[in-house]
Amino acid sequence: MLQALPYHLKVRDHFAQQTKTWNFFASVNTKEEQLAQYKTELLKNTYKFDVNADAAIYEKVEKAKEKLGLEQLPVTVYQAQYTDEMNASIVFLNNEAHIVFSGRITQLLDDNELLAILAHELTHVKLYSTLQGELEIAERIIMAIAGNYHSEPAYYETARLYRLYTEIYCDRGAYTVVGDTSPVITSLVKIATGLDKVSAGSYAKQAEEIFSTASGVKAATISHPENFIRARAIQLWHEKKEDAEAEIIKMIEGSTDLDQLDVFKQNELLLFTRTFMQLLLKPNWFRSALVGSLAKQYFADFSYDEEITPDEQFVEIINGSHTSIKDYLGYIMLDFALVDGALEQIPFGWAFQFAETIQLKDVFEAIVKKELQLSDKKLQQHKQKTMAAWYKLKEGGKEQVVLEGDASA
């Protein structure tokens, strides 16, 4: 049974909470004149397949509609002119679907592959019709925001992932109609490569090899995800159905790269950063005016937390983070170690100890070495000197810092 993917629902729920934005996009209705104009442009730039003369195509359309529960949907198929690029697209206006082929798709694909492509495109309508059209509204919102020049990169990434998951969903629709993964995969590869003959099994194996040899592989395009990801996703769904979702999500999103945060991971990182800083700045001696001012630059409403301690889950999150996130946290420690010269060597010593406690020792030392332009020997001398200053403060009873998992505290 076809169901919207978890990411679709996350995006829907996110924007549904923004009442004004949601209501604005939900109230936009396609007018009859807009539909008429679109049809006119199609007729100018395409060949419209005739229901009688091109009965083989419309027979496949009807089969796909029946399997997808779209029996009442009017569908027209066109062949684009003036382009050799192979592609298939669909526009859904006023409860009418218009499928446009580009390039020599109808010559290249066999009957099952052409059925798979038609079913894939019609499954877009299936998704748009789900949940009273809420997912179609969510897509228009995120695409509009991502298309704005002034939008944050996180919205672009959210749009990329939303569209990517939509392609995965529509591949499942194609599979539902044809009952086999092979035509879904071979049609995908043929359109991408222009080859007349391809092996679905070989390509699926190739996709599996990519993920068994390359860590962190994930999709990176907004209109269509990499074909090997789609091929592997449909194969996993064929084998495991809903039990494959976690593996597919990991494959698509990978680990969180600092430069590829969607709105959800951006918010998660903000919350984690606040906790990270509260742990780093827990010692009372660290709460000088300059340190507090820097903390306010990160979060205008930053506050200290007397009770906070790092637990195993906190450390596990760091261990599982992308290299860019670990570097980001390392530079936060460096920022606060350097901000107040009046505190002398103590913040650096504490930062070295803190980094070891949360298992960022190597990352932090590499950053210190690079930014302070230290040799290996100078780095060790700097570490020993600053940690001695921090231990002296602690042993003097002026500061008692106890961090869960820190045996030396």
pLDDT in tens, 363-405: 999 999 999 999 999 999 999 999 999 888 876 655 544 444 4
Domain ends where: 189, 218, 253?
253
pLDDT of residue 227: 84
Same domain, 268 and 232: no
pTM of the model as a whole: 0.87
Same domain, 216 and 348: no
In sequence order, what are the beta bridge partners of 46?
Answer: 80
> Residue 369: inside a domain, yes or no?
yes
pLDDT of residue 288: 94
For 309, the domain range is 263-395
pLDDT in tens, the chain (409 residues): 789 999 999 999 999 999 999 999 888 765 566 667 778 888 889 999 999 999 999 999 999 999 999 999 999 999 999 888 999 999 988 889 999 999 999 999 999 999 999 999 999 999 999 899 999 999 999 999 999 989 999 999 999 999 999 999 999 999 999 999 999 999 999 999 999 999 999 998 888 887 776 555 565 544 344 788 899 999 999 999 889 999 999 888 877 789 889 999 999 999 999 999 999 999 999 999 999 999 999 999 999 998 888 888 999 999 989 999 999 999 999 999 999 999 999 999 999 999 999 999 999 999 999 999 999 999 999 999 999 998 888 766 555 444 444 444 4
Domain ends where: 253, 282, 317?
253
> Residue 59: inside a domain, yes or no?
yes
Q: In this structure, are residues 263 and 155 in contact, taking their beta carbons and an 8 Å threshold?
A: yes
pLDDT of residue 35: 66
pLDDT of residue 223: 39
Same domain, 173 and 200: yes
> Tokens for 239?
């084998």
Which residue has 């919102």 as its token pair? 141
Nearest by Cα to 233 from 210, 209, 207, 202: 207
Cite the DSSP H helix spans in 254-395: 263-280, 289-298, 312-319, 323-338, 346-357, 361-371, 376-395
> Residue 248: inside a domain, yes or no?
yes
pLDDT of residue 402: 42
Rounded-to-integer distance, Cα 219 and Cα 173, Å: 20
> What one-character DSSP code corresponds to residue 70?
-
With residue 237 as reference, give the H or E element that holds it: helix 227-240
Q: How many domains does the chain have?
A: 2
In sequence order, what are the beta bridge partners of 76?
Answer: 98
Same domain, 239 and 271: no
pLDDT of residue 1: 78
pLDDT of residue 400: 44
Domain ends where: 199, 219, 253?
253
Same domain, 230 and 94: yes
